[in-house]
Amino acid sequence: MCGITGIFEFNPQKKFDLNSLKEMNKAIFHRGPDEEGYFDGGNIGLGSRRLSIIDLTSGRQPIFNEDKKLVIVFNGEIYNYQVLRQTLLKKGHHFKTNSDTEVILHLFEEEGENCVKKLDGMFSLAIWNIEKKELFLARDPLGKKPLFWAIFENKFIFSSEIKGLLSHKDFKRNIDEESLSKYFLYGFVPAPASIFKNIQKLLPGHFLTIDSTGEAKIKKYWELDYRVQEEFFGEEELENEIIKYLEKAVQKRLIADVPVGVFLSGGIDSGLITAMMRNFISPSKIDAFSIGFEEKDYDESSLARLVARQLGVNHHLKIFSKKDLLSVIPQVIDILDEPMADSSILPTVLLSQFAGEKVKVALSGDGGDENFAGYPKYLAHFLLENYWLRKLPFSLFSSFFSGKSSLFFTHANQELYLRNQLWINPFSLEEVEKLIGIKPTFTDLERYHLDFNGQGAEEAFFLDQKITLPDLYLVKTDRASMAASLEIRCPFLDNDLTILAAKIPLKNKLKDFKTKSLLRNIAKKYLPSEAVNKPKKGFGIPISLWLKGKEGNEILKILSKEKIKKAGVLDYKVVESMVKSGNAQKIWVLLIFEWWQKKWLKN
């Protein structure tokens, strides 16, 4: 795992600024503290930070092909690189290292831009074609690894994190107003935009080519097919198929020249990953990492302990206090160079730091909910699309449902893509407009709605795969883990398993009106019943409790009249009203933004 950076001056006579490239590389030091490397091509420079996991001795980047006509910097892991290497050897290619990075370069030499279709793994990469004077960038299908880019002052720059781009001496930090409205609408900024003007995210499953003309050409190379294959398996056969795919996904992700651990929460997803690891590693050699909280209502460490005991793995558990969680907030703001209001990043940072003390790689259960219907909203969509609820008068719903459920069902007449957002929207359209004076739109949702190739409630999975997964959940996982120089691998987001899951009818995933029913049935074969049957909690923290008392008063100082007016972005009267309302989710979104702009908005 690594971090990558680059500067490409469009004027072939102009030398790129090496000091700026070094500053960009320095900004992402945490992504690869083991080694750094640079390529100097006159008007182009590439940088790399390396966290050595495969081929520890000879995999230093940048890497050239045999005739030095191509050079690559790469962030990620390719799980099928050994198979690809053997194919390339038979075609006459010669290798100097045993790294997956060099395999990608030779595959590009053989197949050009289509090489990315053969890569099984997580990645962002950049290849400079020295003869053609053309730069090629690509990102993995689901967006596990990030890649940001910008064009300004007749140059192209890129980096694994926004902070890399901000470190270029000539880059001006200006907020993109439409992205600002999206942050308050969603709690994050959906791709391809970023919170900064000029900075773009390369979309998952896309590649970009650019030459000295300065025109960035972007193409999609991967798309999920959500046209389900009705009854293509019997129930038992389907469960066995999922187990087979999941075992393969876990096995691939154990490839490393360093120890591999696992995050264990006590839930179904991480429990199944841990159970599958035992097929390939002795349980006594598996290190499982869990954290707990002193606030008992938010602590699930007893379940994690129970699962670890039944599976026979080495269990490492650390309990954190309210003080510990509050103390990590400044670190989180350092990590988040773009505001993202998922409070579970705080415990994710603590867990990553805890695991990173012992291992360089850990598997996690991310993706189980998105692929196998783990969220209540999927059941709500399913009911509205298929059952009698849709025929009831909307005024009745407030009597039977509360909170998000009530809001969701009372908007049942809206398009699914709009209804789906009600589960994550911190603010309404009207509230955002009052807060920042900009009326947000759903143009990104509308675009994906038109692209959807399935039908009915399956669109909720498609939208999450396109927006919420890469721009919220995977951002949280990547930034929290890489800040601790820890690589996270997600078997549930394996390409083949994801393709299989997309074709499974929703009624199979929600059998007996239970979320994640397929995985629950599978989990019964491996995990204690307490873990299988527990309601979904997530990795939340007690924000509402924090905002009370002395600590709360201290936290809320950043939302004072003086600070809000000095910053000049938010309407203080609206902020004051929201603070008085006591809505913890809305207050957290405001807090993150104010902390973020204090840290990152100054030029």
Clarify whether 2 is annotated catalytic.
yes
- Determine contact, residues 289/263, Cβ cutoff 8 Å: yes
- Determine contact, residues 23/157, Cβ cutoff 8 Å: no
- Determine contact, residues 48/32, Cβ cutoff 8 Å: yes
* C-alpha to C-alpha distances, 25 to 4, 129, 146, 603, nearest whole angstrom: 7, 21, 15, 18
In a domain, 383, yes or no: no
**Minimal CA–CA distance to 112: which of 207, 186, 194?**
207
- Per-residue pLDDT tens for 538-595? 666 777 777 777 777 888 889 999 999 999 999 999 999 999 988 888 999 999 999 9
**CATH number of domain containing 165:** 3.60.20.10
pLDDT given for residue 161 in this prediction = 98
**What range does the domain containing 569 cover?**
540-603
In a domain, 229, yes or no: no
- Determine contact, residues 224/465, Cβ cutoff 8 Å: yes
Ligand-binding site membership of 364 (annotated): yes
- Determine contact, residues 477/366, Cβ cutoff 8 Å: yes
Domain termination residue (choose one: 533, 559, 581)? 533
**Minimal CA–CA distance to 423: which of 207, 255, 199, 186?**
186
- Single-letter amino acid, residue 595: W
197 and 264 assigned to the same domain: no
Ligand-binding site membership of 205 (annotated): no
Domain termination residue (choose one: 158, 188, 220)? 220
Residue ranges of alpha helices (H) inside 253-344 are 268-277, 301-311, 322-327, 329-335
pLDDT given for residue 421 in this prediction = 78
- Per-residue pLDDT tens for 4-53? 999 999 999 999 999 999 999 999 999 998 889 999 999 999 999 987 67
- Single-letter amino acid, residue 149: W
pLDDT given for residue 232 in this prediction = 61
**Minimal CA–CA distance to 559: which of 545, 578, 542?**
578
107 and 216 assigned to the same domain: yes
- Per-residue pLDDT tens for 152-188? 999 999 999 999 999 999 999 999 999 999 999 999 9
Predicted confidence band of residue 297 (pLDDT cuts 50, 70, 90):
confident
In a domain, 412, yes or no: no
**Minimal CA–CA distance to 171: which of 322, 386, 20, 59?**
20
pLDDT given for residue 551 in this prediction = 75
**Minimal CA–CA distance to 338: which of 193, 443, 489, 483?**
193
Kindly tell me if the per-residue pLDDT of 82 is higher than 90: yes
170 and 299 assigned to the same domain: no
- Determine contact, residues 211/128, Cβ cutoff 8 Å: no
- Per-residue pLDDT tens for 399-454? 545 566 666 666 777 788 888 877 777 888 899 999 999 988 888 888 888 888 77
Q: Mean pLDDT across the stretch 248-266?
A: 94
- Determine contact, residues 25/36, Cβ cutoff 8 Å: yes
Q: What is the mean pLDDT of the chain?
A: 91
Q: Mean pLDDT across the stretch 516-537?
A: 90
545 and 502 assigned to the same domain: no
**CATH number of domain containing 332:** 3.40.50.620
pLDDT given for residue 57 in this prediction = 62
240 and 140 assigned to the same domain: no
CA 400 to chain centre: 35
pLDDT given for residue 394 in this prediction = 55
| Both tokens assigned to 590 | 């405001």
β 155-159/2-9 pair status? antiparallel
30 and 141 assigned to the same domain: yes
Between the two ends of the chain, the Cα-to-Cα distance in Å is: 30
User: What is the DSSP track for 433-501?
Assistant: HHHHS-----HHHHHHHHH--S-TTHHHHHHIIIIIIIIIIHHHHHHHHHTTT-EEE-GGG-HHHHHHH
148 and 254 assigned to the same domain: no
In a domain, 458, yes or no: no
- Per-residue pLDDT tens for 55-77? 666 668 999 999 999 999 999 99
- Per-residue pLDDT tens for 466-483? 999 999 999 999 999 999
259 and 191 assigned to the same domain: no
Predicted confidence band of residue 383 (pLDDT cuts 50, 70, 90):
confident
CA distance 168 to 16: 11
Structural Rg of the chain based on CA atoms: 24
207 and 73 assigned to the same domain: yes
CA distance 380 to 412: 10
In a domain, 463, yes or no: no
Where are any strands of DSSP class E within 519-595? none
Kindly tell me if the per-residue pLDDT of 398 is higher than 60: no
In a domain, 435, yes or no: no
| Both tokens assigned to 94 | 């010669």
- Per-residue pLDDT tens for 301-349? 999 999 999 999 999 999 998 889 889 999 999 999 999 999 999 999 9
- Determine contact, residues 538/297, Cβ cutoff 8 Å: no
| Both tokens assigned to 214 | 């300065």
Which residues, including other chains, have CB under 8 Å from residue 71's CB and lie 6 or more apart?
39, 41, 46, 62, 63, 64, 65, 105, 127, 128, 130
327 and 210 assigned to the same domain: no
Predicted confidence band of residue 458 (pLDDT cuts 50, 70, 90):
confident
Domain termination residue (choose one: 497, 513, 533)? 533
Tally of domains in the chain = 3
Catalytic, out of 1, 2, 125, 484: 2
Three-state secondary-structure class, residue 405: helix
In a domain, 448, yes or no: no
491 and 582 assigned to the same domain: no
In a domain, 387, yes or no: no
CB atoms within 10 A of CB 430: 9
CA distance 20 to 164: 10
CA distance 292 to 4: 34
Which residues, including other chains, have CB under 8 Å from residue 83's CB and lie 6 or more apart?
none
517 and 544 assigned to the same domain: no
Which residues, including other chains, have CB under 8 Å from residue 352's CB and lie 6 or more apart?
480, 481, 483, 484, 486, 488
Ligand-binding site membership of 291 (annotated): yes
